[in-house]
Structure 1
């Protein structure tokens, strides 16, 4: 089985899509040792030429790129035609605009292969709205050529006019995580200590961290922020200007072992994202697996599908600091509710393991 995966970035680049693609391909390689897997992606670093690397038996083609409005643009897909010809299966991870144009250029070759598209996100970005007039018809043409279209949550299908056209060949395979080997008991809220909130992720505007900081200002809680990104300076400035240095702690360089300790020592996980750039929120799965109730936002994406409102946590409107504040107060004051959510969180996380995702895709690849 020869598989070509096309994705914007791949290991060691970090992110929800990259992590899931890595786990998927490693899982397939472990189960089908004779499979030949190639990944075509942008280079996550500045480079003067294309590079070929190998990672755990997986061939990686990294195309040199330049950036337009933070989006990677690559014109170096000359080798893609040969990669498609040599593959039995082509699996594309949408969105990746320049690769989508390259795939369309090879549409005749794609029609001779098993062609699968995983639709990770509905693009709802005002910066790129001008391009939709001619981009969407091209995406429809690509979707027409696909044998199967995978969405990662029911919400992606529900809120996409384009996907509604292809409902008859769409399946849902949620994103996943690698469960830890620890025995985790449900948490019990200790109302004698100061509640500890946790955020893990990139420090970007769409993550809504400024709303979270405003929500906790004046509350008797602590907040650990784990991650790095372009919003770091704004966050540090807010912390300083509002005298939150003893309340909010920012950690920008945390290894996997340290991250486990953050999950184990926290009480509530908060994902306050404000728009559908947060397509799924894989990090919620990690939090749920440690028994952390989650406060998330009611986006038209997979975010509220992962942690369920009033079952594993609370869901609030995006960009609403008052609702965030009230959700925090509710969870930290109602011990029975908190304990119930913690039990449900662990059980919910068991539905999203890598093994289940890999088996679903293998079944798709081979049948």
Structure 2
């Protein structure tokens, strides 16, 4: 008698989003890629997205099949891909589980009309609709029907549930799974700043060049300052940022590096003195790149948004504490008259303590963010102009180096546990 051993069939998962590699690089795409890679032994993953590329419709990215539905551009940040709902409907029957990465109204349109009701749906909620909030009257009912039929809703932090009215309606379905990164590639040898440039400290920022990222804030902060700014990323804002750099005469100190591969980004992160995340709206919900900065041992400057951003790099711990303190800790600087001098050695030294595993899995807000009076800004900081609470202009001057090297645990989606 012959015994044949066959590998059991792996459940198949269809990841649904509006764009994917290699058309764009970003935090949400990294999350999808890492989910597919980390679960490849247990699940057969596939991705359905939109693309403006005229190249092949079906490609393979990191051993994951990706189908790209033709898009004719973007309308109000939404791909103009009229055949996407039809393709999604056809693909649903081929998979055991659907993983929607929201917000994506084209997919909501399919689920709202009941298609694919015989397949379990998990929603990864990455952000609320902020940029085109005027369309909520049309989109929100579709999103509500999608969340109603979802088996589970995955969020990266409790702040998203607390500050998103639509999620609060389905709080019993929400599960918090913080993002994580692979830190094995960040053990670079120490590189001194003077090996990089002779124009002051090196400030690094990374992200898609879109309005909510606030890179224009960072560029304006470099005027008449002795530091250099390198920005990694591509996007629709590039022409406007290039014009702003020319108008401010910063061509020799502000560089737009475009898209770079992972190894080059890690190298640049280890080269930098300070990492800045100047996002200005709640469209920035987590800031995965902050974990990369911490893995590289770099102090972080972020903004006081009502999302997980200031909870990932916490005020006065992983993030630089205040503008005045950052100024005071520079050698040769007179104490800021706005704030009393800080005790020696405590002004802006990022914490070197490693977070416990429980802390890394579920970071909590600092006490200063639990109850905030109207008009609150962290440690006396003031926005550059009304509506933007951003510490960038002074905080990026800090020359402190962080000794912290965080090791966030490897994470898996709720449905893979």
Distance 2:185 2:18 in 1: 31
Q: Which residue does 2:394 correspond to in 1?
A: 326
Specify the SS of the correspondent of 2:123: strand
How far residue 171 of structure 1 moved from its aligned partner, in angstroms, is 0.5
Selected match of 2:98 from 66, 90, 94: 90
Q: Which runs of 5+ in 1 are unaligned?
A: 333-337
> Deviation per CA, 1:92-133, whole angstroms, max 9, x where unpaired?
1101111110122334x32x33221010001112x341x212
Distance 1:193 1:187 in 2: 16
Query: Is residue 37 of structure 1 aligned with residue 45 of structure 2?
Result: yes
Query: Is residue 9 of structure 1 aligned with residue 19 of structure 2?
Result: yes
Selected match of 1:19 from 26, 30, 33: 30
Specify the SS of the correspondent of 2:396: helix
How far residue 57 of structure 1 moved from its aligned partner, in angstroms, is 4.1
Q: Which of 252-261 and 276-285 deviates more?
A: 252-261
Q: Which runs of 5+ in 2 are unaligned?
A: 1-10, 322-377
Would the alpha carbon gap of residues 287 and 88 (structure 1) be closer, same or farther in structure 2, given more than 3 Å must change? same
Specify the SS of the correspondent of 1:53: strand
Query: Is residue 291 of structure 1 aligned with residue 304 of structure 2?
Result: no
How far residue 193 of structure 1 moved from its aligned partner, in angstroms, is 8.7
Q: Which residue does 2:144 correspond to in 1?
A: 140
Query: Is residue 198 of structure 1 aligned with residue 207 of structure 2?
Result: no
How far residue 149 of structure 1 moved from its aligned partner, in angstroms, is 0.5
Distance 1:124 1:254 in 2: 28
Selected match of 2:282 from 273, 276, 279: 276
Distance 2:63 2:255 in 1: 39
Selected match of 2:177 from 150, 173, 178: 173
Query: Is residue 245 of structure 1 aligned with residue 251 of structure 2?
Result: yes
Specify the SS of the correspondent of 2:200: coil
Q: Which residue does 2:120 correspond to in 1?
A: 114
Answer 1 or 2: higher relative contact order, Cα 8 Å, separation at least 6: 1
> Deviation per CA, 1:319-367, whole angstroms, max 9, x where unpaired?
63773223234x33xxxxx34xx233x22xx22x5x3235x5411xxxx
Q: Does the CA contact (< 8 Å) of 1:279 and 1:303 recur in 2?
A: yes
Query: Is residue 103 of structure 1 aligned with residue 119 of structure 2?
Result: no
Q: Does the CA contact (< 8 Å) of 1:200 and 1:283 recur in 2?
A: yes
Query: Is residue 308 of structure 1 aligned with residue 314 of structure 2?
Result: yes
How far residue 268 of structure 1 moved from its aligned partner, in angstroms, is 0.2
Q: Does the CA contact (< 8 Å) of 1:296 and 1:304 recur in 2?
A: yes
Specify the SS of the correspondent of 1:314: coil
Q: Which residue does 2:242 correspond to in 1?
A: 236
Q: Which residue does 1:335 correspond to in 2?
A: none
Query: Is residue 362 of structure 1 aligned with residue 373 of structure 2?
Result: no
Specify the SS of the correspondent of 1:102: helix
Distance 2:33 2:123 in 1: 16
Structure with more helix by fraction: 1
> Deviation per CA, 1:62-115, whole angstroms, max 9, x where unpaired?
2122331342032213243343233221111101111110122334x32x3322
Q: Could you tell me the TM-score, scaled by structure 2's length?
A: 0.73
RMSD over aligned CA atoms reads: 2.8
How far residue 177 of structure 1 moved from its aligned partner, in angstroms, is 2.6
Q: Does the CA contact (< 8 Å) of 1:196 and 1:267 recur in 2?
A: yes
> Deviation per CA, 1:28-65, whole angstroms, max 9, x where unpaired?
11x32xx4322221124257xx9333334433222122
Q: Could you tell me the TM-score, scaled by structure 1's length?
A: 0.82
Query: Is residue 343 of structure 1 aligned with residue 403 of structure 2?
Result: yes
Query: Is residue 68 of structure 1 aligned with residue 75 of structure 2?
Result: yes
Distance 1:44 1:282 in 2: 26
Q: Which of 318-327 and 79-88 deviates more?
A: 318-327
Distance 2:200 2:275 in 1: 15
Q: Does the CA contact (< 8 Å) of 2:186 and 2:266 recur in 1?
A: no
Would the alpha carbon gap of residues 56 and 206 (structure 1) be closer, same or farther in structure 2, given more than 3 Å must change? closer
Would the alpha carbon gap of residues 170 and 257 (structure 1) be closer, same or farther in structure 2, given more than 3 Å must change? closer
